[in-house]
Amino acid sequence: MSDKLVTMEIDGLTVQFPEGMNLVDAARSVGINIPNLCHLEHMRGVGACRMCVVEVEGMRAPNTACTMKTKEGMKIKTDSEQIKDLRRMVIDLILSMHPLDCMTCPKAGVCWLQDLAYQLDVKDSAYGRKSFDFEIDDSNGFIERDPNYCILCGKCVRVCTAQNTNILEFMGRGVGSKVTTERDKPLNETDCTFCGSCLDACPVNAILESGRRLKGREWELFKTDTVCTLCGAACPIDVSEKDGKVVKITSPKPNAFICAAGRFSYDSLAAKNRVTTPMIRSNGELKETSWVEAIKVISDKLASARSNPAKVGILASAAVTNEDAYMLQKLGRAVIGTNNVDSTASLYDTSTVPAYQKAFGKIAGAERCITEADLIIVLGMNASQWSRTLPAIDAKIRKQVSGGAKLIVLDPAEIKLAEVATKHLKLAEGTDTSALAALMAVLVKEKLVNKNRANKAKGLADVRNAASSSDVAALCAEAGLSEEDVKEAAELIAKSKVPMLFYSTGVSAKDNGVDTVLQALNLSALIGGQVLPVGLEANMAGVAAMGLSPLTLPGFAADGKKLAKAWKTDLPEAAGIGAREMLNGGLDFLYGVGDLPVSEGYEKPAEFVVAHVTHMNEFAKTADVVLPSPAFVEQEGSIINYYGRMKMLWSAVEPAADVMAPWQMAAELAESLGYKTKVDILDDVTEEVEKLALPPEKTTQTTSVITPSKGTGSGLAASGSMMTLSGSVIDASKVSELMRQAVTA
Partner 1 sequence: MDLKNIDINKEIGAVGDVLNQEQKTKGLLIHAFQKLQSEMNYLPEEALKALGEKLNIPMSFVYSTASFYKQFYFNPRGKTIVKVCTGTACHVRGAGEVLSELKEEFGVEEGETTEDLSMTLETVGCVGCCGLAPVATINEDVIGEIDDERINEIIQSVKEA
From the list ligand SF4, partner 1, ligand FES, none, partner contacted by residue 66 (C-beta under 5 to 8 A by kind): ligand FES
Calpha distance 397→276 (Å, rounded): 39
From the list ligand SF4, ligand FES, partner 1, none, partner contacted by residue 51 (C-beta under 5 to 8 A by kind): ligand FES
CB closer to partner 1 out of 183 and 698:
183
CB closer to ligand FES out of 22 and 703:
22
Is 321 a binding residue for ligand FES by CB under 6 A? The answer is no
Angle (deg, nearest 10), helices 112-120 and 81-95: 130
Do residues 547 and 324 make contact, with C-beta atoms less than 8 angstroms apart?
A: no
Part in contact with partner 1 (CB under 8 A); list of ranges 179-187, 485-493, 536-544, 663-671: 179-187
CB closer to partner 1 out of 155 and 248:
155
Question: Closest distance between ligand FES and the C-beta of residue 100, in Å?
Answer: 22
Calpha distance 202→251 (Å, rounded): 13
CB closer to ligand FES out of 88 and 311:
88
Question: Closest distance between partner 1 and the C-beta of residue 209, in Å?
Answer: 22
Q: ∠ CA(571), CA(575), CA(579), 5° rounding?
A: 110
The residues in 181-240 that bind partner 1, with binding defined as CB under 8 A, are 181-183
The residues in 154-173 that bind partner 1, with binding defined as CB under 8 A, are 161, 166-173
- Contact map string, positions 59 to 78, toward ligand FES, x by CB under 6 A: -----x-x------------
CB closer to partner 1 out of 189 and 684:
189
From the list ligand SF4, partner 1, ligand FES, none, partner contacted by residue 49 (C-beta under 5 to 8 A by kind): ligand FES
From the list ligand FES, ligand SF4, partner 1, none, partner contacted by residue 171 (C-beta under 5 to 8 A by kind): partner 1
Do residues 148 and 131 make contact, with C-beta atoms less than 8 angstroms apart?
A: yes
From the list ligand SF4, ligand FES, partner 1, none, partner contacted by residue 50 (C-beta under 5 to 8 A by kind): ligand FES
**Best CA proximity match to 480, nearest among 422, 431, 407, 415:** 431
From the list ligand FES, ligand SF4, partner 1, none, partner contacted by residue 197 (C-beta under 5 to 8 A by kind): ligand SF4
# chain residues binding ligand FES, by CB under 6 A = 13
From the list ligand FES, partner 1, ligand SF4, none, partner contacted by residue 122 (C-beta under 5 to 8 A by kind): none
Question: Closest distance between partner 1 and the C-beta of residue 158, in Å?
Answer: 12
CB closer to ligand SF4 out of 203 and 380:
203
Mark 345-379 as b/e (b = at least 16 C-beta within 10 Å).
bbbbbbbbbebbbbbbbbbbbbeeebeebbbbbbb
- Contact map string, positions 17 to 56, toward ligand FES, x by CB under 6 A: -------------------xxxx-----x-xxxxxx----
Do residues 255 and 201 make contact, with C-beta atoms less than 8 angstroms apart?
A: yes
Q: Which run of H or E residues covers position 355?
A: helix 352-359
CB closer to ligand FES out of 51 and 732:
51
Question: Closest distance between ligand FES and the C-beta of residue 26, in Å?
Answer: 13
CB closer to ligand SF4 out of 195 and 347:
195
Phi-psi sector, 18: left (phi>0), alpha (psi -120 to 50), beta: beta
CB closer to partner 1 out of 169 and 372:
169
CB closer to partner 1 out of 162 and 661:
162
Rounded alpha-carbon distances, angstroms, from residue 299 to 292, 311, 444, 625, 630: 11, 15, 60, 11, 21
Calpha distance 197→206 (Å, rounded): 13
Do residues 346 and 549 make contact, with C-beta atoms less than 8 angstroms apart?
A: yes
Query: In which order are the strands placed within the sheet that holds 5-10?
Result: 13-18, 5-10, 75-77, 53-56, 63-64
Tally of CA atoms within 13 A in the half-sphere of 258 that contains its CB: 26
Calpha distance 32→12 (Å, rounded): 12
Calpha distance 329→242 (Å, rounded): 36
End-to-end Cα spacing for the chain: 48
Do residues 230 and 261 make contact, with C-beta atoms less than 8 angstroms apart?
A: yes
Calpha distance 664→225 (Å, rounded): 23
Helix, strand and coil content of the chain, in percent to the nearest 5, comes to: 35, 20, 45
CB closer to ligand FES out of 62 and 533:
62
CB closer to partner 1 out of 418 and 652:
418
Question: Closest distance between ligand SF4 and the C-beta of residue 564, in Å?
Answer: 37
Q: At 378, give phi and psi (nearest 5°).
A: -115, 120
**Best CA proximity match to 735, nearest among 42, 198, 299, 262:** 262
Binding residues for ligand SF4, rule: CB under 6 A, are 143, 150-156, 159-160, 165, 167-168, 179, 192-198, 201-204, 206-207, 228, 230-231, 233-235, 258-259, 261-262, 391-392, 723
Question: Closest distance between ligand FES and the C-beta of residue 53, in Å?
Answer: 8
From the list ligand FES, partner 1, ligand SF4, none, partner contacted by residue 45 (C-beta under 5 to 8 A by kind): ligand FES
Burial of 480 (0-12, 13-18, 19+ CB in 10 A): middle
Q: Which residues make up the interface to partner 1 (CB under 8 A)?
A: 161, 166-173, 181-183
Q: Which residues make up the interface to ligand FES (CB under 6 A)?
A: 36-39, 45, 47-52, 64, 66
